[in-house]
DNA sequence: CCGAGAGGTGTGATCGCTAACATCATCGGT
DNA sequence: ACCGATGATGTTAGCGATCACACCTCTCGG
């Protein structure tokens, strides 16, 4: 062993090699203006030569700020949240922030509070909470006011910074598409009632029906799973007057598709179906599913933007951004026979 | 404002309130033995009263260690990686570690090296790399020897700590199941050839055929997408001698299912299909898919265990763990007609 | 030719914690 | 009654960065 366990180089080591003080090294690192170009180069060279890497802990200690963003999300493999997270990490990485995630099994107030606490322990610079239902949104009351916070898919009624997909607009478009294709009315298989996403989709669906004075059938309540969609589909398949179904997500739609198939009701010939999310496999359902595609990458970008705004400004805002989804037409919709 | 921006309480504040020295507070926090029970309680009370929360940056600065684990994974929403990550975070959280993720768009050496660098900047205590293909595995050569590292789904040939699902065993079981059902042979739609998972599944499939001296048809190469499965399925559907297909994952199987359907070949009556992964929707495909289910939670637990072993021991190991998947029988397999 | 201002650089204190050592009772054994 | 071990606590010195400020060296207007 050359040295004592070969401690990695610190700022003073760089300073010594470059023949300057550690403070000058710090200035170079932080792009302070008052450094001679020549000095700057010398320091840069020394940094490179030593393979110096600033110690974030030391910096965090003195500045009181970290370069960490915490994300609280449900412990789920749902397509929406997963892609969102994925896109968010990418955006954050580009902005020089690391992302620490605190998954939570159930979206109740207690679990979320615990996850938030864990992140506060880490002294995160800001927090993103994916709070798609009421109990999750409630938990946000516990987040201290000073901490920059952005909610995703949260309560539209609440006054926190919020980024969401415009659920209602997407549902409206989907429903209108079915109506314009010639259906008298459209049935709706909804996600869990306490999810804002589901509620927004119900709203948009209703608005579209109202707009043309179509009859509004009762909402078929379900959760987000294919199993629930299948169950709902079994019921709908038995009702001959059902010719068009708008499912609150693609997995529900998949279940509906299978129930229709088993019952001998052909899609789209006898029944048209539209989903929501555009999961990658949707194009390979039987038949390929017409669905609504939210732009998760855009949501992620907006979220990060809003958060960094707060982080740099040092105060909370209540701005909100809404991302409009688009309808993707495939082969699960047709003129009723 | 009461104080100057109300700095949060530090160890000395707790010490003052409890009437002890900050060092004693430190001892209480770290469960050192030599503290009187009474003192311990007094300190605990003071901590609670002030809402004191230890500053991790300060601790990291002096100990040189963080409570952070870095995970490098592909920027994907594939079901397998997503559930793995999810399970891993949960396990790590319980062990008191935070998880910082560095997603990577493509699994080439450069991107992975960059992600590893970002994590080293953070001074992570250990690193988990999901390195399912050759180029990713190559990148691991750049990881410095001192850093605890566990590879998931990595190269079975390489000598790093590794946790994998026993792909070959799963594929063997799936193929054998088809053979035992009465099929002469089994065709295979494979994932990308440079993925170890795909390669392992090919191997297991081949072994099962060899074991009963069945003819080994050519491998149909694809990627992991439903689109590729569909394409492969279109070809297979045209060949009357194909009565059984083992697809390398569920999405491929979905594509195959749809191609068969379009071509009028009934599953399972005319053709049997088996997938791999058991995505949650697999039970609602048409027909419900027989598939192989890996236990991602177990992989996550083993991974964490192996990593923490290295972190506490302070040295790298080359142990490896293998998780056996199980066959889930549904309705996509039947006796050939 | 002098003094003000600005640019470039160095010095020390400090952030909140842990490690190492110092101190001071208390206690059992001879 | 003395001594060394042991337990409980305090004191001091950093870890590696940033910040505030001091210091020097120019330039330039009056």
B283: which chain A residues are within 8 Å (Cβ-Cβ)? Answer: 226-227
**Cβ–Cβ gap B121/A261 under 8 Å:** no
pLDDT one digit per residue (tens) for chain A, 337 residues: 344 446 789 999 999 999 999 999 999 999 998 899 999 999 999 999 999 999 999 999 999 999 999 999 887 777 878 888 888 988 998 888 999 988 888 888 888 888 898 899 899 999 999 988 888 888 888 888 888 999 999 888 888 899 999 999 999 999 999 999 999 999 999 999 999 999 999 999 999 999 999 999 999 999 999 999 999 999 999 999 999 999 999 999 999 999 999 999 999 999 999 999 999 999 999 999 999 999 999 999 999 999 999 988 877 788 899 999 999 999 999 998 7
Q: Which of residues 24-53 of A touch strand C (CB under 7 A)?
A: 24, 27, 33-36, 38-39
Written as one string, the DSSP assignment of B9-34 is P-HHHHHHHHTS-HHHHHHHHTT-S-
> What count of other Cβ atoms lies within 10 Å of the Cβ of residue B105?
12
Using CA atoms, how far apart are residues B277 and B285, in angstroms rounded to an integer? Answer: 14
pLDDT of residue B6: 65
Which residue is associated with the tokens 């732009």?
Answer: A295
- Locate the chain B residue with the closest alpha carbon to A288: B258
Which residue is associated with the tokens 């026993």?
Answer: B166
Residues (pLDDT < 70) of chain B are: 1-6
How many A×B Cβ pairs under 8 Å? Answer: 129
Q: What is the DSSP letter of B290?
A: B
Using CA atoms, how far apart are residues A122 and B60, in angstroms rounded to an integer? Answer: 11
The three state secondary structure string of chain A is: CCCCCCCCCCHHHHHHHHCCCHHHHHHHHCCCCCCCHHHHHHHHHHHHHHCCCCCHHHHHHHHCCCCEEEEEEECCCCHHHHHHHHHHHHHHHHCCCEEEEEEECCCCHHHHHHHHHHHHHCCCCEEEEECCEHHHHHHHHHCCCCCCEEEECCCCCCCCCEEEECHHHHHHHHHHHHHHHCCCCCEEEECCCCEHHHHHHHHHHHHHHHHCCCCCCCCEECCCCHHHHHHHHHHHHCCCCCCEEEECCHHHHHHHHHHHHHCCCCCCCCCEEECCCCCHHHHHCCCCCEEEECCHHHHHHHHHHHHHHHHHHCCCCCCEEEECCEEECCCCCCCCC
Facing B61 at nearest CB: one of A58, A229, A280: A58
| Sequence-separated (6 or more) residues with CB below 8 Å from residue A78 | A224
Cβ of A62 less than 7 A from strand C: yes
> What count of other Cβ atoms lies within 10 Å of the Cβ of residue B323?
19
Cβ of A312 less than 7 A from strand D: no
pLDDT of residue A77: 73
Facing A226 at nearest CB: one of B60, B75, B280: B280
Q: Compute the radius of gyration of chain B from its Cα atoms.
A: 26
Whether A98 contacts chain B with CB within 8 A: yes
Facing A90 at nearest CB: one of B103, B229, B254: B103
- Locate the chain B residue with the closest alpha carbon to A146: B5
B128-150 as b/e: b if 16+ CB within 10 A: bbbbbbbebbbbbeebeeebbbb
pLDDT of residue B1: 36
Whether B325 contacts chain A with CB within 8 A: no
Whether A335 contacts chain B with CB within 8 A: no
Using CA atoms, how far apart are residues B149 and B141, in angstroms rounded to an integer? Answer: 11
Name the CA dihedral angle for B99, B104, B107, B111, rounded to a multiple of 10 degrees: -110
Closest CA to B219 of B202, B239, B233: B202
Q: How far is the CA of B32 from the C1' of C30 (A)?
A: 33
B120: which chain A residues are within 8 Å (Cβ-Cβ)? Answer: 53
Whether B101 contacts chain A with CB within 8 A: yes
Closest CA to A103 of A83, A127, A75, A79: A75
Q: Compute the radius of gyration of chain A from its Cα atoms.
A: 26
Half-sphere exposure of residue B118, counting CA atoms within 13 Å on the CB side? Answer: 26
Nucleotides of D under 7 A from a protein CB: 7-12, 14-20
Cβ-contact A178, A334 below 8 angstroms: no
Nucleotides of C under 7 A from a protein CB: 7-12, 14-20
Cβ-contact A25, A11 below 8 angstroms: yes
pLDDT of residue B54: 95
Q: Which of residues 29-88 of B touch strand C (CB under 7 A)?
A: 29-30, 52, 54-55, 58-59, 61-63
Q: How far is the CA of A57 from the C1' of D21 (A)?
A: 25
Classify B58 as helix, strand or coil.
helix
pLDDT of residue B3: 40
Facing A284 at nearest CB: one of B66, B90, B255: B255
**Cβ–Cβ gap A100/B99 under 8 Å:** yes
pLDDT of residue A226: 96
- Torsions phi, psi for A280 (to 5 deg): -55, -30
């Amino acid at each position: 062993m050359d040295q004592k366990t070969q401690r990695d180089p610190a700022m003073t080591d760089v300073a010594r090699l470059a023949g300057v003080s550690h403070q000058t090294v710090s200035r170079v690192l932080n792009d302070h203006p008052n450094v001679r170009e020549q000095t700057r180069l010398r320091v840069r060279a020394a940094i490179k030569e030593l393979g110096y890497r600033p110690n974030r802990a030391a910096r965090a200690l003195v500045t009181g700020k970290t370069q960490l963003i915490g994300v609280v999300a449900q412990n789920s493999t749902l397509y929406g949240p997963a892609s969102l997270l994925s896109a968010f990490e990418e955006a954050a990485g580009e902005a020089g922030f690391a992302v620490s995630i605190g998954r939570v099994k159930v979206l109740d107030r207690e679990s979320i509070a615990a996850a938030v606490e864990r992140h506060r322990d880490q002294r995160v610079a800001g927090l993103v909470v994916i709070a798609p239902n009421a109990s999750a949104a409630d938990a946000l009351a516990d987040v201290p006011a000073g901490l920059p916070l952005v909610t995703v898919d949260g309560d539209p009624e609440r006054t926190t910074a919020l980024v969401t997909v415009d659920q209602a607009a997407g549902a409206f478009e989907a429903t209108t598409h079915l109506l314009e294709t010639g259906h008298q009315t459209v049935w709706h298989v909804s996600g869990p009632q306490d999810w804002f996403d589901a509620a927004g989709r119900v709203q948009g669906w209703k608005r579209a029906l109202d707009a043309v004075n179509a009859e509004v059938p009762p909402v078929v309540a379900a959760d987000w799973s294919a199993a629930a969609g299948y169950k709902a589909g079994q019921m709908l398949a038995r009702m001959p007057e059902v010719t068009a179904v708008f499912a609150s997500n693609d997995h529900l739609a998949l279940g509906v598709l299978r129930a229709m198939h088993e019952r001998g009701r052909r899609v789209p010939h006898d029944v048209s179906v539209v989903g929501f999310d555009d999961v990658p496999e949707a194009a390979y359902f039987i038949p390929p599913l017409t669905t609504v595609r939210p732009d998760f990458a855009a949501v992620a970008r907006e979220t990060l933007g809003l958060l960094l705004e707060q982080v740099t400004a040092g105060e909370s805002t209540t701005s909100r951004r809404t991302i409009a989804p688009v309808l993707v037409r495939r082969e699960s919709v047709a003129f009723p026979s």
